């Protein structure tokens, strides 16, 4: 078959670039890069596509939004607010909503995209955590992910504060209180942000600049760095047959992977458009313009800020006067400590785990959550802690809807946020160990076939079959933990690095990580496991097993 030459209009520019940049070699090499395929990998791509949609819709909204606190009298299409004094920011948002063609749709797509972006980042980070995909060499990408999530929270807070409606103004009031509660620097931080006494005339213009230019620019740079690092290090893979730390099994980047991602982007855009069309979000015209003297009951922030709201509601009214200065523990502690523990702990966890386990290897195959019970239990405990704080942020709504005392609800959550994570840790760890025992039993004795066999002695047993190769490969992907040297050898000589408190702590963490691990080994896969191994081995030779399966009434071929 003769080669088909590209048209001159295409060939000439490509040749021009190739002669100067050597791009053809780069493209040929990278267009064939393999990408593993698993549904959970889609979570990060949803976040990426949502960010792109945020940039597109945000650009549209900036064409009409006026970031000004200048007071005007509204006289627009929404007649219920005609004659009401408001800021230009709120007035221009109403103009976008009711007078600009497609304005309300774009506003709601933008808001739903922000919600989806934060939800996708959260789910993606949980997937990375529970599968151990943050381990060497991907610690930097894990830190970038935490930074993106933190910036996303700030970006969302500043974004829904821009319209200057009553709900967003209440959120800014909380932000002011949090800033002022920080000792020494809090007052300066508050004045730097607000430019004077609350609410002042500078907050909306400053938030607009931060929301439109500063944070999106930083996030875009971090996302590009995240993708470049992932491209260089290659994607992690789920454990299955034929996948190792030395290979990548998946689809080529071009054309299959690119076509799939293009379709997924359109799906996500379509879902957001449907949500924006049929699911109302942030109806600012119902809230009215911000008034510092007014506040509404039942006000709730977006879900990703719910944990901060809940922590503020649960904290007792503790204050301390020191040398004429008031320390507002009731604001500072809930604002800084719970999320500080979560984010700091998440950032340090890969390094703490590597230090405690002594595992310095590079990992490209993901763990099954059950095979790392301490890590999985820790993750579930944090999720429980975060979820309870999020629920506590709506304690007034819960009390009103279920007709219970608000004080009883508050006290329930005060105890729940302390006891819930501990119970979640213990229960999750026991579940993981139970699943490990099930895997070990499957490899040692096979799985139940549903075929009942009568032995020559008259005993009835159930025939067990070997696990299929795919299932066996997944089960055997478990990596056994590495134990550190004992604190003292047989001669009583202390091991290097264990003579100080830090060394003792490392040994304790190592034992805690590995003490309950269930060893899983490849076995013959057809033992009975109940003291009848020899009898069943005789009864389930290959030929007899085939006969038993073929004559079993109502049993399918599961081999």
Q: Which domain does 137 fall in, by range? A: 39-304
pLDDT score recorded for residue 486: 64
Whether 533 shows a pLDDT value over 50: the answer reads no
Whether 97 shows a pLDDT value over 70: the answer reads yes
Which of the pair, 37 or 44, is modelled with greater confidence? 44
pLDDT score recorded for residue 380: 97
Task: Mean pLDDT check: name the lowest of 106-120, 147-161, 363-377, 491-505.
Answer: 491-505
Is 85 among the domain residues? yes
Rounded to 10 degrees, the C-alpha dihedral 496/497/501/504 comes to -80
- Relative to beta strand 325-327, strand 460-465 is unpaired
Angle in degrees, 0-180, between the axes of helices 373-392 and 306-314, rounded to the nearest 10: 70
Q: Is 320 helix (H, G, I), strand (E, B) or coil?
A: strand
Residue 510's pLDDT band, with cuts at 50, 70 and 90, is confident
Residue 507's pLDDT band, with cuts at 50, 70 and 90, is confident
pLDDT score recorded for residue 345: 94
Residue 6's pLDDT band, with cuts at 50, 70 and 90, is low
Write the pLDDT tens digit of every residue in 199-234: 778 889 999 999 999 999 999 999 999 999 998 888
Straight-line distance from the first to the last Cα atom of the chain, in angstroms, rounded to the nearest whole number: 45
Is 532 among the domain residues? no
pLDDT score recorded for residue 518: 85
Q: What CATH code is carried by the domain that includes residue 204?
A: 1.20.810.10
Q: Which of 314-328, 387-401, 499-513 has the highest mean pLDDT?
A: 387-401
Whether 557 shows a pLDDT value over 70: the answer reads no
Q: What percent of the chain has pLDDT over 70?
A: 86
Whether 10 shows a pLDDT value over 70: the answer reads no
Q: Which of 183-192, 348-357, 549-558 has the highest mean pLDDT?
A: 348-357
Is 547 among the domain residues? no
Answer yes or no: pTM beyond 0.75.
yes
What DSSP assignment string belongs to 23-60?
Answer: HHHHHHHHHT-EE---GGGHHHHHHHHHHHHHHHHHHH
Is 527 among the domain residues? no
Q: Is 71 helix (H, G, I), strand (E, B) or coil?
A: strand
Q: Is 434 helix (H, G, I), strand (E, B) or coil?
A: helix
Segment 341-356 shows an average pLDDT of: 93
Task: Mean pLDDT check: name the lowest of 41-45, 119-123, 322-326.
Answer: 322-326
Which of the pair, 185 or 123, is modelled with greater confidence? 123
Give the distance between the most distant pair of CA atoms in the chain.
97
Do residues 35 and 251 make contact, with C-beta atoms less than 8 angstroms apart? Answer: yes
Is 49 among the domain residues? yes
pLDDT score recorded for residue 530: 44
Which of the pair, 548 or 138, is modelled with greater confidence? 138
Q: How many independent structural domains does the chain possess? A: 1
**Helix, strand, coil: what percent of the chain each, to 5?**
60, 5, 30
pLDDT score recorded for residue 215: 95
Residue 496's pLDDT band, with cuts at 50, 70 and 90, is low
pLDDT score recorded for residue 522: 75
Residue 14's pLDDT band, with cuts at 50, 70 and 90, is low
pLDDT score recorded for residue 543: 39
Segment 261-282 shows an average pLDDT of: 95
Which of the pair, 190 or 119, is modelled with greater confidence? 119
pLDDT score recorded for residue 490: 57
Is 64 among the domain residues? yes
Task: Mean pLDDT check: name the lowest of 19-33, 189-203, 408-422, 469-483.
Answer: 19-33
Write the pLDDT tens digit of every residue in 456-468: 888 888 888 888 8
Q: What average pLDDT is seen over the chain?
A: 85
Residue 526's pLDDT band, with cuts at 50, 70 and 90, is very low
Residue 247's pLDDT band, with cuts at 50, 70 and 90, is confident
Residue 71's pLDDT band, with cuts at 50, 70 and 90, is very high
Is 470 among the domain residues? no
Closest CA to 41 of 204, 261, 192, 202: 261
Residue 536's pLDDT band, with cuts at 50, 70 and 90, is very low
pLDDT score recorded for residue 274: 97
Is 33 among the domain residues? no
Residue 83's pLDDT band, with cuts at 50, 70 and 90, is very high
Which of the pair, 500 or 112, is modelled with greater confidence? 112
Could you give the CA distance from residue 359 to residue 109 in angstroms, rounded to a whole number?
Answer: 45
Whether 532 shows a pLDDT value over 60: the answer reads no
């Amino acid at each position: 078959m003769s080669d088909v030459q590209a048209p001159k209009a295409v060939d000439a520019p490509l040749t021009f670039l190739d002669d100067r940049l050597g791009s053809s070699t780069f493209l040929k090499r990278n267009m064939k890069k393999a990408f593993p395929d698993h549904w959970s990998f889609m979570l990060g791509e949803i976040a990426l596509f949502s960010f792109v949609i945020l940039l597109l819709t945000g650009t549209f909204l900036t064409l009409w939004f006026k970031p000004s606190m200048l007071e005007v009298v509204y006289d627009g299409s929404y007649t219920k607010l005609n004659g009401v004094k408001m800021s230009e920011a709120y007035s221009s948002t109403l103009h976008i909503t009711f007078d600009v063609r497609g304005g309300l749709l774009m506003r709601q797509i933008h808001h739903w995209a922000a919600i989806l972006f934060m939800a996708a980042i959260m789910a993606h980070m949980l997937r990375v955590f529970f599968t151990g995909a943050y381990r060497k060499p991907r610690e930097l990408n894990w830190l970038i992910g935490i930074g993106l999530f933190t910036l996303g929270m700030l970006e969302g807070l500043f974004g829904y504060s821009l319209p200057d409606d009553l709900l967003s103004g209440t959120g800014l009031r909380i932000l002011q209180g949090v800033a002022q509660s920080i000792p020494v620097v809090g007052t300066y931080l508050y004045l730097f942000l607000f430019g004077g006494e609350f609410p002042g005339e500078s907050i909306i213009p400053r938030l607009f600049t931060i929301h439109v230019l500063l944070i999106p620019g930083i996030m875009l740079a971090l996302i590009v760095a995240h993708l470049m690092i992932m491209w260089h290090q290659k994607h992690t893979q789920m454990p299955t047959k034929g996948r190792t730390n030395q290979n990548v099994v998946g689809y080529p980047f071009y054309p299959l992977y690119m076509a799939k991602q293009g379709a997924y982007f359109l799906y996500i855009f379509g879902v957001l458009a449907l949500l924006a069309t049929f699911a109302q979000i942030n109806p600012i015209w119902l809230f009215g313009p911000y008034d510092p003297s007014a506040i509404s009951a039942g006000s709730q922030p977006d879900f990703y800020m719910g944990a901060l709201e809940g922590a503020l509601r649960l904290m007792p009214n503790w204050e301390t006067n020191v040398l004429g200065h008031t320390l507002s523990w009731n604001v500072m502690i809930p604002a800084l400590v719970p999320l500080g523990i979560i984010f700091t702990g998440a950032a340090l966890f890969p390094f703490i785990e590597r230090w405690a386990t002594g595992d310095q290897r590079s990992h490209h195959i993901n763990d099954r959550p059950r095979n790392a019970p301490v890590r999985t239990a820790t993750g579930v405990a944090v999720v429980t802690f975060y979820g309870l704080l999020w629920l506590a942020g709506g304690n007034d709504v819960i009390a009103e809807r279920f007709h219970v005392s608000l004080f009883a609800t508050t006290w329930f959550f005060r105890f729940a946020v302390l006891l819930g994570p501990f119970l979640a840790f213990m229960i999750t760890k026991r579940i993981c160990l139970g699943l490990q025992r099930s895997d070990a039993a499957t490899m040692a004795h096979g799985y139940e076939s549903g075929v009942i066999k009568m032995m020559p002695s008259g005993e009835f047993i159930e025939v067990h079959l070997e696990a299929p190769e795919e299932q066996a490969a997944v089960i055997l992907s478990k990596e056994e933990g590495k134990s550190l040297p004992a604190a003292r050898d047989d001669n009583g000589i202390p091991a290097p690095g264990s003579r100080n408190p830090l060394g003792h702590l490392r040994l304790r963490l190592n034992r805690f990580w590995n003490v309950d691990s269930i060893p899983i080994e490849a076995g013959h896969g057809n033992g009975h496991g109940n003291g009848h191994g020899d009898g069943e081995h005789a009864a389930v030779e290959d030929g007899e097993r085939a006969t038993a399966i073929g004559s079993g009434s109502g049993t399918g071929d599961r081999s």
